[in-house]
Amino acid sequence: MSDVSFTRSEVRPAYRKAADETPLVKAVLVLLVVAVLAVLLFAPLLAVFAEALADGLGASLAALSQPEARSAIWLTLAVTGVAVPMNAIFGIAAAWTITKFDFRGKALLLTLIDLPFSVSPVVAGLCLVLLLGANSSLGGWLVASGVPVIFALPGIILATMFVTFPFVARELVPVMIEQGKAEEEAALTLGAGGWRVFRTVTLPNIRWALLYGVLLCNARAMGEFGAVAVVSGKIRGETATMPITIEMMYNEYLSVAAFSMAALLALLALVTLVLKSLLEWRYADQLSASARH
């Protein structure tokens, strides 16, 4: 035995080889990963832009300036303009309550916040229809009082909020646990009031994590399809968001129009990814562990 190890040390293989794959294995694995991602991720992305520009940039811009397309863009902006800030407020409130206090049922609360991740968006929409649709007692009353929720803007906002509900809270909770509450307690001892502590101590500490959560929440909110499809009723020019309009145009074989709007959302996705990577790269220490890589 000692003989073998002696010869080995004489041959002296490159340092660290023992805990590393050979260059050939590495090259094969890298190529494999690149090939699979090229087919699965990059090809669809390219396809969106290729199809959108099939008749030239002019045609696709013209398609986007149609009244139907413009009202869809405005509706999507309006929905996210309400849903995302609401979920940000929820996320901050939930993270503050969960990380700064000790109370019974905390684990249950965390589970309930995560619940929308394991519920299908279509089932989420179904739940809202059953609760607030015109043939439920609550929904019937709402329609009678002139505020229909289902097949109207409030329903779309609620559906969007449901599917994006955990995003901000999930990002903030781990960050705020890690930061602890010593700084806030110090500020309190020095006589600062609650709001002042939050504004001047907590908020600066969590701002990048908050932005990160809002970014992901926004991307999902603008693109949500399943839940919105169920509650929107797909009324042209009224309750058709951008993804719903894509579906309607696609089913009418308006390929350029559908893919032009899809390209707009794909651009949004790319901007989201760039900003997300910048945040991860620049402020890694201020994001939750799952966001650092």
Partner 1 sequence: MMRPVVNKSPMPGFGLGMGITLTLLSLVVLLPIAALLVKGAGLGLAGLWAVASGERVVASLALSFRLSLIAALFNLVFGVLLAWVLSRYRFPGRRLLDAAVDLPFALPTAVAGIALTALYAPNGVFGSLAKTFGARIAYTEWGILIALIFVGLPFVTRTVQPVVEEIEREVEEASATLGASRLYTLRRVIMPMLAPAALTGFALALARSVGEYGSVIFIAGNIPMKTEIAPLLIVIRLEEFDYNGAAAIGIAMLTISFTLLLAINAVQVWTRRRIGYV
Which residues within the stretch 14-53 sit at the binding site for partner 1 (CB under 8 A)?
16, 18-21, 26, 29-30, 32-34, 36-37, 39-45, 47-48, 51
Nearer to partner 1, 145 or 293 (CB): 293
**How far apart are the C-alpha atoms of 215 and 282, rounded to whole Å?**
16
Nearer to partner 1, 225 or 283 (CB): 225
Alpha-carbon Rg for the chain, nearest whole angstrom, is: 25
CA angle 189, 194, 198 (to 5 degrees): 100
Nearer to partner 1, 65 or 120 (CB): 120
- Side-chain half-sphere CA neighbours of 77 within 13 A: 7
Question: How many residues make up the chain in this entry?
Answer: 293
Residues 6+ apart with CB under 8 A from 98: 106, 109, 110, 169, 173
- Name the DSSP class of 119: S
Only one of the segments 56-64, 172-180, 205-213, 239-247 lies at the binding site for partner 1 (rule: CB under 8 A); that segment is: 239-247
Q: How far is the CB of 69 from partner 1 (least distance, A)?
A: 14
User: Do residues 197 and 188 make contact, with C-beta atoms less than 8 angstroms apart?
Assistant: yes
Q: How far is the CB of 291 from partner 1 (least distance, A)?
A: 9
Total of residues contacting partner 1 (CB under 8 A): 103
Only one of the segments 61-69, 91-99, 170-178, 206-214 lies at the binding site for partner 1 (rule: CB under 8 A); that segment is: 91-99
DSSP track, 197-243: HIIIIIHHHHHHHHHHHHHHHHHHHHH--HHHHHHHTT-TTTT--HH
Interface of this chain with partner 1, residues 157 to 186, rule: CB under 8 A: 158, 161-162, 165, 181, 184-185
For partner 1, the binding residue among 68, 177, 276, 283 (CB under 8 A) is 276
**Mask: binding to partner 1, 99-138, rule CB under 8 A, as x and -?**
-xxxxx----x--xx-xxxxxxxxxx-xxxxxxxx-xx--
- Side-chain half-sphere CA neighbours of 20 within 13 A: 10
Only one of the segments 60-68, 172-180, 206-214, 219-227 lies at the binding site for partner 1 (rule: CB under 8 A); that segment is: 219-227
Does residue 74 interact with partner 1 by CB under 8 A?
A: no
Q: How far is the CB of 162 from partner 1 (least distance, A)?
A: 5
